[in-house]
Chains A and B, each alone.
Chain A
Amino acid sequence: MDVIEINKLTKFYGKARGIIDVDFSVQEGEIFGFIGPNGAGKSTTIRLLLSLIYPTSGSAKIFGKDCFTQGPEIRMEVGYLPSEVFYYDDMKVIDLLKYSATFYKKDCSKRIIELAEIMDLDLSRKIDDLSYGNKKKVGIVQGLLHQPKLIILDEPTSGLDPLMQQKFFSLLEAENKRGATILFSSHVLSEVQRLCGRVAIIKEGKIIKLEKIANLQENTFKSFKIELNEKIDDSYFKIEGINDLNIKDNTVSFLYKGNMNLITEKLAGIQITDFWAEEPNLEEIFLHYYEKE
């Protein structure tokens, strides 16, 4: 079953582009990555899903319900962690969390304490006195306290130290095992790589790639780096399938997708002193999409 179905969703802020014809769906139980540079339209998409803003055209459904007419019902089962968290400064952490819990018509007090313990959060402090990282922890507890079926995270890790980030990720994995679907938006690719099964890459408001993380890494590109005895002609490696060709003095690097024999033939024809072929990391793949397409 699809938990999120987004269909030709378009949003313009006046004349300014938000997103254009965004299409993707997230299946139940999936951890879905949503990556793209700042300003690509990740937050716009998420704000549309939460009906904080309304679309110019297109549709979006969560749990089979229309996001723009059945928002309150949908949000009953959604936990949302924004990239920057702000709460009522004069409230104590526990009071804010209790207030948030009153919206969900179930007893969340045990879960609040559990989550606060995991995230090492002092519930008795005033929100105003918290550091940025601690506010973020309040956000995490607030987003998870009602055990939502769908968790929407908008660049959630900024401000968390590496240890907390680990705890947060295991928390997410536990929630996912429990059955929660997760939409994880980020521009930090290593975290998407670690958690997500599939990703959508968004650039300038449009989805440019939708793929399994595994495919993205294994079946697409290899990263080559070659050291040579002498300079070679720029045109030597200009064959189909080669991208991001970079020749600097005696070093050649490029991404390659296609028949490997073509490359080995090319390599056999020149004098090589050293040679590397690696799985590209997501950053490279991403940069490739970001620059070329």
Chain B
Amino acid sequence: MNMFLHELRVYRKTLIIWIFVIVGIVLMYVSFYPAFTKNLAATKGLIGGLPPVAQIALGIQLETFSRVEFFFSFVFSIVLIFAGIQAMNLGLSLLSKEVRWKTVDFLFSRPVSRIQILNAKLLSVLTSIVITNIFVTLTAIIAVIGLVNSSYNLSAVVLISLSMFFIQLVFVSLGVFISIFINKIKMVVLLSVGIVISMFGLNMLDKVAGDSTIWFLIPFRYFDLTRIAMNGIYEPISIIWSLLVSAIMISISYFIYIKKDIHAV
């Protein structure tokens, strides 16, 4: 418990900043919606002018785009880039920050096992992303109720918003997994931005290419936001796959880390 609280205290400031950033982006995009539907013909003309490939890559379907849940699914794919970077940062820093701050000797010479340390750290990171998700989902609900006059499917909006939790989970696990193999990560932010943006690019390419064989390597691909907007439910594979991939990466990380030498700083 002491380590868990200590970790939360360490994350406190960055967590608040991230919540502001992601909530801000959600609010900004959703507040565009009324203006966007006012000039629907013009917007449709604009989107229709895009090449079909671009439409697919962006996840836009012309017929349904004016419904708020579809609009939301489009803007949320951008929100997910930021959410991914936040999660990747948390995962990469989980252990590497102790190396960077040279506090690794202090922490690991306490009378606790490495598993206890990892558990506490992981739990505090999960708490951070749960808090982020609560704020973002509440913001999405309030924004849709407050700004949209036409009919909408609120549960689809909530589900799209909560897909962020699962995708963040995968990115946290990926971050931890990567950090196990690198002794000293100096530029965490740069690394996570790089990885997340590349994943996002791959996701776009993969959508255009159709059913590719590497879809499981791209966390963004686990949830098809447009389909959630359409059906109002998750596909079971989305949940299973994100939990499974996270569990595997975290298990391997635990397995390696409990036997790893902690080198002097």
Complex contacts, A88 vs chain B, CB 8 Å: 10, 101, 103
Q: How large is the interface on B (under 10, 10 to 19, 20 to 34, 35 or more residues)?
A: 20 to 34
Contact A72 B111 (CB under 8 A): yes
> Which B residues lie within 8 Å of A104 (CB)?
111
CB distance from B118 to the nearest CB of A (A): 13
A75 neighbours in B (Cβ, 8 Å): 109-112
Give chain A residues whose Cβ lies under 8 Å from the Cβ of B231.
none
Instruction: Tell me the bound Cα distance from A74 to B109 in angstroms.
Output: 10
Q: A132 an interface residue at 8 Å Cβ cutoff?
A: no
What's the least CB distance linking A156 to chain B, in Å? 14
**Complex: chain A residue closest to B260, CB-CB:** A54
Task: Judge whether A287 is part of the interface by a CB distance below 8 angstroms.
Answer: no
Residue numbers in A under 8 Å from B103 (CB-CB): 86-88
- A179 contacts chain B at the CB level, 8 A cutoff: no
The verdict on B186 contacting chain A, using a C-beta distance below 8 Å, is: no
Known: A84-B265, A99-B2, A103-B2. A73 touches B111 (CB 8 A): yes
Partner pick for B261 among A43, A53, A74, A99, CB 8 A cutoff: A53
Chain B contacts of A74 at CB under 8 A?
Answer: 111
Q: How far is the CA of A54 from the CA of B105 in the complex (A)?
A: 14
B109 touches A50 (CB 8 A): yes
Residues facing B in A73-124 (CB within 8 A) are: 73-76, 78, 80, 82, 84, 86-89, 99-100, 102-104
Interface residues of B in 108-164 (CB under 8 A from A): 108-113, 116
Give the chain A neighbours of B54 by CB distance below 8 A. Answer: none
In the bound complex, what is the Cα–Cα distance between A138 and B2 (angstroms)? 20
In the complex, which of the residues B106, B111, B261 contacts A76, with contact meaning CB atoms closer than 8 Å?
Answer: B111
Q: A54 contacts B112, CB within 8 Å?
A: no
Residues of A within 8 A of B46 (CB): none
Q: Please name all residues of chain B whose beta carbon is closer than 8 Å to the beta carbon of A87 when the two chains form the complex.
A: 103, 106
Q: Could you tell me the distance in whole angstroms from the C-beta of A193 to the nearest C-beta in chain B?
A: 27
> Which one of B102, B108, B113, B261 has the greatest number of beta carbons of chain A within 10 Å?
B261
In the complex, per-residue mask of B213-247: 1 if CB is within 8 Å of any chain A CB, else 0: 00000000000000000000000000000000000
Assuming the contacts A52-B105, A82-B105, asked whether A72 and B113 have C-beta atoms less than 8 A apart, the reply is yes
Chain A residues with CB under 8 A of B112 = 72, 75, 103
A47 within 8 A of B: yes
Partner of A99, one of B6, B102, B116, B259: B6
Least CB separation from B116: chain A residue: A72
Would you give the shortest CB distance from B254 to chain A, in whole angstroms?
16
Interface 1/0 per residue, B1-21 and A, CB below 8 Å = 010001000100000000000
Distance A13 CA – B264 CA, assembled complex (angstroms): 12
| A71 interface residue (CB < 8 Å to B) | yes
* Complex interface bits, B88-108 against A, C-beta within 8 A gives 1, otherwise 0: 000000000000011101101
Given known A84-B265, A86-B102, contact A52–B108 (CB-CB < 8 A): yes
Q: Which residue of B lies closest to A84 (CB)?
A: B265
B111 lies within 8 A of A52 (CB):
no
CB distance from B30 to the nearest CB of A (A): 36
How far is it, in angstroms, between the C-alpha of A88 and the C-alpha of B106 when the chains are bound? 10
B248 sits at the interface (CB 8 A): no
Chain B residues with CB under 8 Å of A54's CB are 259, 261
The reply to whether B262 and A52 form a contact with Cβ atoms under 8 Å apart is: yes
Q: Which residues of A contact B102 (CB under 8 A)?
A: 84, 86
The minimal Cβ–Cβ distance linking A191 to chain B, given in whole angstroms, is 22
| Residues in A whose Cβ lies below 8 Å from that of B259 | 54
Bound Cα distance from A93 to B101, whole angstroms: 16
> Measured between alpha carbons, how far is A53 from B2 in the docked complex, in Å?
24
Residues of A within 8 A of B109 (CB): 50, 52, 75, 78, 80, 82
A82 CA / B104 CA spacing, docked (Å): 12
Closest chain-A Cβ to B113's Cβ sits at a distance in Å of 5
Give the docked Cα–Cα distance between A142 and B109 (Å): 12
**Which among B105, B110, B113, B262 is the interface contact of A100 at CB below 8 angstroms?**
B110
User: How close is B111's CB to chain A, nearest CB, in angstroms?
Assistant: 4
Closest Cβ–Cβ distance, residue A69 to chain B (whole Å): 10
Q: List 5 A-B contacts (CB under 8 A).
A: A50-B108, A52-B261, A71-B113, A75-B112, A76-B111
Extra A-B contacts (4), CB below 8 Å, given A75-B109, A84-B102, A86-B106: A47-B262, A72-B112, A78-B109, A82-B105
**Lowest 9 A-B CB distances belong to which pairs?**
A86-B102, A102-B2, A75-B111, A76-B111, A53-B261, A52-B262, A103-B110, A80-B109, A72-B113
